[in-house]
């Protein structure tokens, strides 16, 4: 009779253990997915706001810049005495400056880290915890 009760307790304990592990793993995966979603929404929002600000600022800057370029062409024409040459010189300088600015912006976009760092760290932590629980469960079953 004691043997049967011992087996029943072990079976109940093992079944309970499996049930708890299954529920915890399900909850853990659900929480990790929610964390990843929230983190990606935050990263996308930051990126979208930055791009929107750059676009609006760029539009206003372009309008003022065109006026300044026209002034530069007219001013250089006084010295060079050839409108086409003035426009060519100012245009070449603007193209060079614009290219340098584009390269700088490209580097900044590459530096934007879109990986969900907190989620990855949490998943690695969970993986380590799962390995520890696995070894503990094996020890308990022995």
pLDDT digits (tens, 9 = 90+) for 77-104: 999 999 999 999 999 999 999 999 999 8
pLDDT value of position 73: 94
């791009």: which residue's tokens?
A: 51
Q: Is the pLDDT of residue 9 over 70?
A: no
Give the N- to C-terminal CA distance of the chain in Å, as an integer.
22
pLDDT value of position 64: 93
Give the list of residues 6+ apart from residue 69 with CB closer than 8 angstroms, or none. 90, 94
pTM recorded for the entire structure? 0.41
Q: Is the pLDDT of residue 3 over 50?
A: no
Contact call for residues 73 and 86 (beta carbons, < 8 A): yes
Quick one: average pLDDT of 40-52? 86
Q: How confident is the model at residue 113 (pLDDT cuts 50, 70, 90)?
A: low
**Coil vs helix vs strand at 81:** coil
In angstroms, the Cα distances linking 22 to 93, 103, 121 are: 66, 51, 22
């087996």: which residue's tokens?
A: 7
Q: CB atoms < 10 A from the CB of 80, how many?
A: 15
């Amino acid at each position: 009779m004691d043997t049967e009760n011992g087996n029943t307790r072990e079976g109940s304990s093992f079944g309970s253990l499996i049930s708890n592990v299954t529920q915890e793993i399900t909850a853990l995966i659900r929480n990790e997915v929610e964390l990843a979603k929230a983190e990606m929404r935050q990263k996308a929002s930051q990126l979208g706001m930055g791009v929107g600000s750059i676009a609006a600022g760029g539009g206003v800057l372009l309008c003022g810049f065109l006026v300044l370029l026209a002034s530069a062409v007219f001013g250089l024409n006084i010295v060079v005495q050839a409108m086409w040459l003035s426009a060519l010189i100012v245009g070449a300088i603007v193209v060079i400056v614009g290219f340098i600015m584009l390269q700088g912006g490209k580097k900044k976009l590459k530096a934007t880290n879109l990986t969900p760092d907190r989620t990855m760290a949490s998943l690695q932590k969970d993986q380590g915890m799962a390995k520890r629980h696995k070894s503990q469960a094996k020890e308990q079953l022995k």
